[in-house]
Homo-oligomer: A and B are copies of this chain.
Amino acid sequence: MHVVTCIAPVNIAVIKYWGKRDEVLIVPTNDSLSGTLSMEQMHAKTTIMASPNFKKNCIWLNGKEESFDNERLLTCLREVQRRAERDGANKDLLKWHIHVCSENNFPTAAGLASSAAGYACFVYTLAQLYSVKGDVSQIARQGSGSACRSLAGGFVRWHMGSAPDGSDSIATQVVPETHWPEMRVIILVVNDKKKKVSSTSGMQRSVLTSELLKHRITYCVPQRVKDIEKAIISKDFNTFAEITMKDSNQFHAVALDTYPPAVYMNDVSHAIVDFIHCFNKAKKSTKVAYTFDAGPNACLYLLESAVAETIALVNHFFPGHNSKNIIQGLPVPPANVQETIAAIEKMGVVRHEEGLLKFVINTRVGEGPKQLTDSSQHLLSPSGVPKRLAE
């Protein structure tokens, strides 16, 4: 019997992935680039156990058993095992069935890129189980495209590649988390009731129908990736922030240019955008950058020096329901923001009604996946059943 438990992080793109040039291989129409979020606040955790006693492969996601008969899951398993064979792994181990148990320590439904963290964790854990060496990002990519960017810490670039088999469409680290330790991330989780367009079908439709997408991938993204990589390496926050905001806006523009349109931001999202622009204007300097994935939640990139003021302003302009504290994550020192509030209100930003935000996560850029060696961390009991079901 063999068991391994690992955790893997969420990543939030600053240059967005939107469009596949091959649906099966999951190779994208453009490079993308993301920050990896600290696993202290948010992570996926996966235990994989292989045993000669298991009759079949089983998987439990967030406490619920799911079918293993899932194309993407099976692809990832097959590819890691093929690599293990090549690396000379134990032949018996490779024959045993596996039990997989995976959990996120944050709400899956909140639209916080949970599938990326989940597939990254699955592939990373499998790789440890079978002692696979080397980069497995091109395998994780075949589970969920952006999962490949969750396999390293700091800032990570997913190269679109050009090989027909997708072998050069891999993720590489631009800088580790230690390069720019002041980089912080605040996630504003928006209350939402809208009908959803899945990102898979939205991006399919964009590739088929958006004329603007072609321009974006051919002309805009290559320059932006180059520029933001340079900004990250030289720790130029202004440039980093401006490109991040522009690329988020352009991704949502392309989604809107899709037919029928794919709309992910809502009125609250746009109110956050307006608030951030007014905040930056009030401070006469770019303190905060927003970015939005395929959902209404805002992800703010900012330096440590701006966290206290930003959180205080978010609390003021987007108060929680019944004014309750909605800030989670890293501790935040208090800040006096009366003057900034006055300046922002002068620009026409109002204090919004309560409860527009569900909660706020204060976190930072962090490291890549890691194995947990303490056996108490396993999510599966020695017999291969999820501990929380066995209790």
Contacts and interface: CB of A to CB of B under 8 A. Distances in A.
A248 to B, nearest CB: 9
A259 B274 contact: no
A228 to B, nearest CB: 15
A364 interface: no
Interface in A238-252: 242, 245-246, 249-250, 252
Contacts of A273: 260-261, 263
**Which 8 pairs across A and B sit closest by C-beta, in order of nearness?**
A215-B215, A253-B257, A253-B253, A253-B256, A260-B277, A267-B267, A212-B212, A195-B348
Interface in A262-308: 263, 266-267, 270, 273-274, 277
A216 interface: yes
Q: Give the interface size class of chain A.
A: 20 to 34
A95 interface: no
Q: How many copies does the complex hold?
A: 2
A253 B261 CA distance: 10
Interface of A: 194-195, 211-212, 214-216, 219-220, 242, 245-246, 249-250, 252-254, 256-261, 263, 266-267, 270, 273-274, 277, 348-349
Nearest to A276: B260
Nearest to A254: B253
A257 to B, nearest CB: 4
Contacts of A261: 249, 270, 273
Contact of A212 (B250, B267, B270, B277): B250
Given A195-B348, A267-B194, A267-B267, A212 B245 contact: no
